[in-house]
Amino acid sequence: MNVEISFRTSTEVSIGLEERIYTVDSSGASISSGYSISLLHHYCSKLPHDEYFFPKPSFYYSEDSGGTICNIILPSNAPINQIASTPQSSVNAAKKDACLKAIEELHKLGALTDHLLPLQNSVLEEETLLVSSDSGSSEADEDSRGELHEMLVPAVLKESWTNLENCVLLYAYYIKFIPNPEDRSYKEFALFVKSPLPKEAERMELDLHLSRRRSVMTKLTPSGVAEFKREEIMQAQHFQEMFFKVILDRSELLSEFVTLGNVFLSSSSSTFYLLLPVILSNCENKVTVDWGIVQRCLSSPLFKSPVAAAKIENFPSDVCLHLVNGCRSIRDIENSLVYATHKRAFYFITSIVGEKNGYSPYRDSGTLNHLEHLNMSGIHLKYPEQPLLHAKPLFKLHNLLHNRKPEDSESNELEEYFIDLPPELCQLKIIGFSKEIGSSLSLLPSIMHRLENLLVAIELKHVLEALTTEKCQERFSLERLESLGDSFLKFAVARHLFLLHDALDEGELTRRRSNVVNNSNLFKLATRRNLQVYIRDQPFDPFQFFPLGHPCPVICTKETKGTVHPQSSCQVDHAKSEVRCSRNHHWLQKKTISDVVEALVGAFIVDRGFQAATAFLRWIGIRVDFQGSQLNSICAASKRFMPLSSLLDIGDLENLLGYQFLHKGLLLQAIVHPSFNRHGGGCYQRLEFLGDAVLDYLITSYLFSLYPKLKPGQLTDLRSVSVNNKSFANVAVDRRLHKFLMCDSCHLNEAIEKYVDFITLSPDRGLFEGPKCPKALGDLVESCFGAILLDTGFNLNRVWKIMLSILDPIKSLSSVQLNPIREVQELSQCYNWDLQFLVAKVGRNFSVDAKVNAGDVPLCVCSSNINRKEAIRTTAHQLYVKLKALGYAPKSKSLDEVLKGSPKNEAKLIGYDETPIDVTVPDIIGFENMKLQESLVNDFNPKTRSSKKTTSSGVSCISPGSRPFEVKAARGSASGESHSRTARSQLYEICAINCWKPPLFECCKEEGPSHLRSFTYRVIVEIEEAPDMILECFSSPRTTKKAAAEHAAEGALWYLKHEGYLQ
């Protein structure tokens, strides 16, 4: 059982036998009427509150002929506003009975868990969240840096031809290379696969970025079907194994003999495709394998048996050269790959330089020739008269998928680097392996990595297409889509919870939404749908590239997984330390997986709108659906706020907002602070919760569409600057919305006046100086937008237009400033300073010292504030200003500078494709009756005239004057409980609930002899909100005083109900 239950206390010393006990059947939790008092206080203390409002219950007592009645008024942000006890023998008993009834009612409404605890301590809801069997250590689980997951191998690349028939048909895709500038030659290559590529990938285009601002555009072109015989497949596999050894693991080529084909006998390759040199026909729709090159390379002595290679071939002296490994034909040496022993490097031989030999000048040694230069290194040439070999170094493989920063000093036309080598210092390795082949091979790993990623994305797209009737966007990218998806997810979940749980307060709604959208839950939902296998978050590492012919040397099994991938490897820079294994395992941060979910939501919104995004959320396990009837019920219930209309001019407020409400009760609710509790309960906090969510999405959509080139981090920064309470507070002041705020907190009113004066009088509106911004001002803007959203039937097009007109100070982005704490931290990191914030409590304030060593000069700034966070923010801002004044500035551009240089598009509302709900127009008859009643009774002078109305039961009601109001009824009177209570107790309860004086009962007439005595009672009810309204009701004669008083009370209740004041 929760610790909180075991430590409950009460003012009651013991539980008497007469005390009632409430028991929850599902959990067995129970509580007595005595302990219910402390639990009710505890529940109220957990309701949303701030320094200006602390929620607690209020108790009122009245006497009834049956005993004492306790009436409880709960805080305005509680789901119920009042509760009354049954008549009891004492005040204490009445209080216990009322508190127990309140606890019972709160539990039935869902405000208390089945363990009778406030909901903030509850577990996640099964209908909303994925329940995990290992969720007991959620905090530790959340702090875990990552988990090991397998990466999905595209299905089209997995189909093998291991069970060879006499011939194999493979689909061919010609790879076209378009260099920029066009001064390099590339050998034509093609991709061959067993299954055809999907339409979205068969014409993939990719721009590869080389050094010195060079680039190569590559394009795939479908080129028909090629037929391979059994021997040709073997040759093709050997050729692919050979060239991957050259570009990925050339150390094997240092030996005199290399065996090909063994990797295919024991290979557990996860991909099956061939990359082969081809001959392009006149039309690009057909290619044939260049078997001449394949067979010539494989005929190299390096790949022959030692016996075959030992056979000495006799060549005429004029057509051969002496190499390290013997005399070789010039024809074999040209366009081949050699190994220079004195340089320990591989080179492509492009030609024989007949006019140069060992006696020719060496270019970097002044007057020395090649012979003399090598002699200085202890190398002596035996055949200095041999012509030199013109060679280009074998390339180092790079990731060509990312942009390289250009350098102004570099030229696009920089010539290739070549070197002249003496033949006798070279070993011939691969015949016919030309520089053009090497240039093409340097591009292929990057091309195949991008193609694999695209194929994985297409497979995921096909999975997700089942959710909608139309196709979604072709490519998925985390980056900017994540911000858009995050804001929509919060809005959709907030709307769902708001409508589903009309009795939950803003704090509990926020907690439930957080439980749905937090990274931990998104991670669990994503892994349940196996989305993690589609994620590839590492940059391409050519040396972790393991295609067919180059198998992964690290074999990973269930038994060896912990050794191959120790947990410690996840806690360091995984880009440098992660090991690629045979099962494609990689470490994934949980946040990465949850970010993918948000990015997919954003992708659906951008490409197919709200409905597709909603379908995806439903598929993954997040409920965001709602019914129009739920909205209509909330709009209808807002009528209970209509009596407040007499306290302000609704038309003026509507003009400030630029919107005329159908349900004006929603607007009235939007301006009621939780400290105001004279109207039957309810405040703006729930609307604030909804308004915050819709504004977050609208502003994110605005920024997303306005700045199409803004980087994800910059977009997030701009969003945090725009969507915050202080920005909204300034809007409230600009629009004078604060003048309509209803609150009963003097301290809050004073704080608002100070802040308004500061904002009005300060031209620069300093963000981190001056009085503290009362949160209620920002809440007011959010709650008004929440009310507008409901009143329009969730018509975001209308809310969007209102947002553009009202939030001008935000959308203009004239004073963009990030969190000063972050700014000073980034500046300190930039200069490797040690930054410290020292916080101390001094009286009621927090004093903060910020210290930093700027260069060799220590700098200290101090400030104080009643709020700890504000004190730190102000201190950080002051320190940042001082550091900038000393000439220290961040190396990266500020957000202001970035925005000035960013291209702009027209802002638009992204993805909204829902049909607005037809919100039922409120019933105006009741409200008009209230106005009609006012016109009738105002004809009488309350001091000199009176009006009598005689009811059919003989009860006389005198109303000297009145004004329209709505009487708050006891909760049970509308639910069938009134028959169990007397009319007097109900009238006492109504007066207590509305904070009126208790009704005054007096016997005004006694008649008849002693044995036939009759009594006439009158009851007087004073309406404090309407000083000119006095209700006086007389009973008909009754044989007992109790019956006469009861009849008078019935008359008062009848009158209030008959005239429409009491529902």
Give me the pLDDT at residue 363, please. 77
Catalytic residue from among 692, 823, 1046, 1059: 692
For residues 521-544, average pLDDT: 81
Give me the pLDDT at residue 130, please. 39
Read off the tokens for 88: 């009891």
Query: What is the number of helices (H) and of strands (E) in the chain?
Result: 35, 28
Burial of 370 (0-12, 13-18, 19+ CB in 10 A): buried
For residues 494-510, average pLDDT: 92
**In this structure, which CATH number among 3.30.450.20, 1.10.760.10, 3.30.1330.30, 2.170.260.10 belongs to the domain 313-441?**
2.170.260.10
Residue 907 to residue 612: CA distance in whole angstroms: 22
Q: Where in the chain is the domain with CATH 3.30.160.20?
A: 3-121, 925-1058
State yes or no: pLDDT of 472 exceeds 70. no
Q: Where in the chain is the domain with CATH 2.170.260.10?
A: 313-441
pLDDT, tens digit, for every residue of 147-183?
A: 666 777 788 888 887 656 678 999 999 999 999 888 7
CB within 8 A of 1002, min separation 6: which ones? Answer: 1017, 1018, 1020
Catalytic residue from among 578, 782, 966, 1032: 782
Mean pLDDT in the chain?
80
pLDDT, tens digit, for every residue of 551-580?
A: 777 777 777 776 767 765 565 444 455 677
For residues 367-391, average pLDDT: 90
Give me the pLDDT at residue 681, please. 83
Top-ranked range on mean pLDDT: pick from 246-250, 317-321, 927-931: 246-250
- In the residue annotation, 1022 being an active-site residue is answered as no
Read off the tokens for 464: 């997700």
Fold of 925-1058: Double Stranded RNA Binding Domain (3.30.160)
**pTM of this prediction?**
0.68
For residues 269-286, average pLDDT: 83
Give me the pLDDT at residue 365, please. 63
Give me the pLDDT at residue 469, please. 31
Give me the pLDDT at residue 773, please. 86
Give me the pLDDT at residue 974, please. 38
Residue 834 to residue 307: CA distance in whole angstroms: 69
- Which residues, listed in sequence order, are joined to residue 173 by a DSSP beta bridge? 191, 222
pLDDT, tens digit, for every residue of 76-112?
A: 889 888 899 999 989 999 999 999 999 999 998 888 9
Give me the pLDDT at residue 92, please. 92
Give me the pLDDT at residue 986, please. 83
Q: Count CB atoms within 10 A of the CB of residue 648.
A: 16
Q: Where in the chain is the domain with CATH 1.10.1520.10?
A: 143-151+468-620, 628-814
Give me the pLDDT at residue 390, please. 93
Burial of 887 (0-12, 13-18, 19+ CB in 10 A): exposed
In 3-state terms, what secondary structure has residue 392? strand
State yes or no: pLDDT of 271 exceeds 50. yes
Q: CA separation (Å) from 390 to 326, 337, 418, 685? A: 19, 12, 7, 80
Q: Which stretch of DSSP H or E encloses residue 189?
A: strand 189-193
Instruction: Say which CATH architecture domain 143-151+468-620 belongs to.
Output: Orthogonal Bundle (1.10)
Read off the tokens for 966: 């709505």
Q: CA separation (Å) from 895 to 364, 481, 814, 816, 823? A: 50, 20, 11, 7, 11
- Which has more pLDDT, 540 or 789? 789
pLDDT, tens digit, for every residue of 721-776?
A: 787 888 898 899 989 999 999 998 899 999 999 999 888 886 555 555 667 789 99
pLDDT, tens digit, for every residue of 937-953?
A: 333 222 222 333 333 33
State yes or no: pLDDT of 964 exceeds 50. no
For residues 995-999, average pLDDT: 78
pLDDT, tens digit, for every residue of 609-652?
A: 999 999 999 999 999 999 999 999 999 989 889 888 888 899 99
Instruction: Say which CATH architecture domain 3-121 belongs to.
Output: 2-Layer Sandwich (3.30)
Judge contact between 242 and 298, C-beta under 8 A. yes
Find tokens 């980034």 and name the residue. 826
For residues 238-244, average pLDDT: 91
Fold of 628-814: Ribonuclease iii, N-terminal Endonuclease Domain; Chain A (1.10.1520)
- In the residue annotation, 934 being an active-site residue is answered as no
Half-sphere exposure of 14 (CA within 13 A, CB side): 3
Give me the pLDDT at residue 307, please. 60
Give me the pLDDT at residue 405, please. 54
